[in-house]
Structure 1
């Protein structure tokens, strides 16, 4: 019901007062979005205002009763006065309501003082924690995540920051619900840096290859390598590894290289033939048998199959058979895998086709270094080149070959000849004279293994045709600096 319909001029009725006051209070309540105002201007305030209105109504009724005995003019004047009185009363009430609402609004939006890490901060009543941080210039940060080696993995990936209110740490939900009223004391602590998770595992450490100090005619393994064991800590995120403990040191593989010299004073030389077997091999063997001499033959693995009988004949005659690799390739120009296959396949061919076990090679062209040793992967025990080159590959004639093989010969020399790879008729012609002249010079012709065994610097296990890597040893993967 509207106030205009109730109040029709003159004195307002009691119903007008009730409605005006009640609707006024409710209007103020509806217009406020703050539940505190609703509490202040709600039922208690409404009842108070209505009581005030009823008191005014009762007072008006009393005056009307006294005025019934006056004249009509006096009655009209009284009504006008009472109307003005009601208007004033209503104005006072409305002003009081506005002042009360405005005052409470200011009270709700007042500044209060809180403390952040002991520093006072003035902030709006019922502000959130985020608003407090903005006002205080505080930026809580999580800790960072570091690797086991101390390298940064993730900013903010460590421990979370913490906030305590009056000494009690708040959960995330409690922190979101913060509405300060004043006097609260917050302690903000950045998160701790963290180190990634890790585990300790055992790692096999491979030996290194220690090359010979200088290259001579015979290079051999003087010490086989063995794996070591390390305990390492491995980062779960970074994959970094930190050595925790050396459980067992690796044993390096050591190469030695010498020009064999008999330790007992005997005068020994070794005739060697490369690139066979071939049709010339049988002729070479016949001469050796006729002279009662022996030699060492470095055969190509690719020739073994067709000439397996010839190879077996060499061994039966007291000669020695070793490898010249599979296909006579220059191992300064092959990959690591190719070098391995050239050595391993040749040994397998000799073993499987001719029943010959050997771990010694003569590298084609004499080209072999520490990198080739690494590539051989433990399949060989020695690499043998020569001290004396017959230069028969130049086909210089039998006389020149004899001269090259007999002039300036020293004790322990290894002489290079060929029984394959081309026309070897000059070698066949020169060989009987070479044997005779060397013997005249006081030399005894022996196999390579016999020559190596005669030098006390070479260990017995290395001075063999076949000296495979022991099962409890390991081949190196890198060269020692």
Structure 2
């Protein structure tokens, strides 16, 4: 009797855990499996139901290993079975097996935050007055460096770069006839004579001064301010900026502004580059130091000393509303400029022109205010 019971129990056990056929549903289709079938064997017998492991990708998204990503995912009746458990997990009942393809995996990598230099949008072809309308600001971006591929890939933008925007303008105040007389390279022994003429004729002008000259003639600088003229920078010593390093350029401008402030007690951010040589690179280097670079559209060529009549003719023949006239109050013998100035003023007044500073001209023409650098 005991033997019969033992045999019966053994048969039941074998039936329950080995011989019994189970129904395992995958993708809506029922598959038969013995009760002792492991998940690994079932998957292998059915070629993983054509599910593939994911790929191992580089940080750039290129395939490093076709099967190097995450493995195929398996759930039985909604319960996840980890790949390491497939070999010893056996089916004990009917149920549903959900088989999901493996997902791609990105290679191990380090994460770095790097500065993204600002770009430039600089148009210097619109006229003699160049203005910073937006300061450039570097961005910040996350980069991944792959340990296997050794490649670097740009990822999340943490802070967008803001481009440096410089626009140039030809000021033409509507309904006006105005002109801006400007004098470079002073102050000098000729400056007081020029100021006397301007005062006698009730004319305002703008003086683009050299820092080293400002320190030599501080009383002249103070007189310029006192009599209502505008003072601006023309550098310290009149170098050619494109031949200078970025650091040298900045030092030149900063020193000139400091010299002018010391001599005249005026803080200015208006500049005229020596020789007018101030391009995209110079703006990129120095936009936080100056608001405007003011060139000219009427050149008297007085530095060549062509004679007072020719100097006068250059202005009178080419003058127009909003003209910026280039003359010199220093840098050499300016006696011809001094002699020509009264006749220039006389003839321009006869034509109906009035005289303004660069600041006044920009305001009258509605030019935009310069963008201040971030602190």
TM (norm. structure 2) is 0.69
Tell me which protein shows more strand as a share of its residues.
2
Q: Which residue of 1 aligns with 2:33?
A: none
Deviation, 1:387, is 0.9
2:258 partner SS: helix
Q: Which residue of 2 aligns with 1:471?
A: 374
Deviation, 1:224, is 2.5
Rounded to whole Å, the distance in 1 between the matches of 2:251 and 2:132 is 20
**1:354 paired residue among 248, 260, 264:** 264
Deviation, 1:377, is 4.8
Deviation, 1:449, is 0.6
1:273 partner SS: strand
Q: Which residue of 2 aligns with 1:270?
A: 180
Which of structures 1 and 2 has the larger relative contact order (alpha carbons within 8 angstroms, sep 6+)? 2
Q: Which runs of 5+ in 2 are unaligned?
A: 1-55, 70-86, 89-104
Rounded to whole Å, the distance in 2 between the matches of 1:321 and 1:206 is 34
Rounded to whole Å, the distance in 2 between the matches of 1:414 and 1:213 is 16
Deviation, 1:278, is 0.5
How many residue pairs get aligned? The number is 289
Residues 379 and 404 (structure 1 numbering): CA distance in 2 closer, same or farther, change over 3 Å? same
Residues 194 and 219 (structure 1 numbering): CA distance in 2 closer, same or farther, change over 3 Å? closer
Q: Summarize the alignment of residues 68-467 of structure 1 with structure 2, pairs less than 5 Å apart.
A: 148-149=59-60, 195-199=107-111, 201-212=112-123, 214-235=125-146, 238=150, 240-244=152-156, 246-263=157-174, 265-456=175-366, 458-459=367-368, 461-462=369-370
Asked whether the 8 Å contact 1:344–1:376 carries over to 2, the reply is no
Asked whether the 8 Å contact 1:205–1:250 carries over to 2, the reply is yes
Deviation, 1:332, is 2.9
Tell me which protein shows more helix as a share of its residues.
1
TM (norm. structure 1) is 0.54
Supply the RMSD in Å over aligned alpha carbons.
3.1
Asked whether the 8 Å contact 1:379–1:469 carries over to 2, the reply is no
Asked whether the 8 Å contact 1:226–1:250 carries over to 2, the reply is yes
Deviation, 1:420, is 0.3
Asked whether the 8 Å contact 2:242–2:278 carries over to 1, the reply is yes
Rounded to whole Å, the distance in 2 between the matches of 1:337 and 1:240 is 31
Residues 470 and 235 (structure 1 numbering): CA distance in 2 closer, same or farther, change over 3 Å? same
Residues 194 and 226 (structure 1 numbering): CA distance in 2 closer, same or farther, change over 3 Å? closer
Rounded to whole Å, the distance in 2 between the matches of 1:194 and 1:251 is 31
Rounded to whole Å, the distance in 2 between the matches of 1:411 and 1:242 is 51
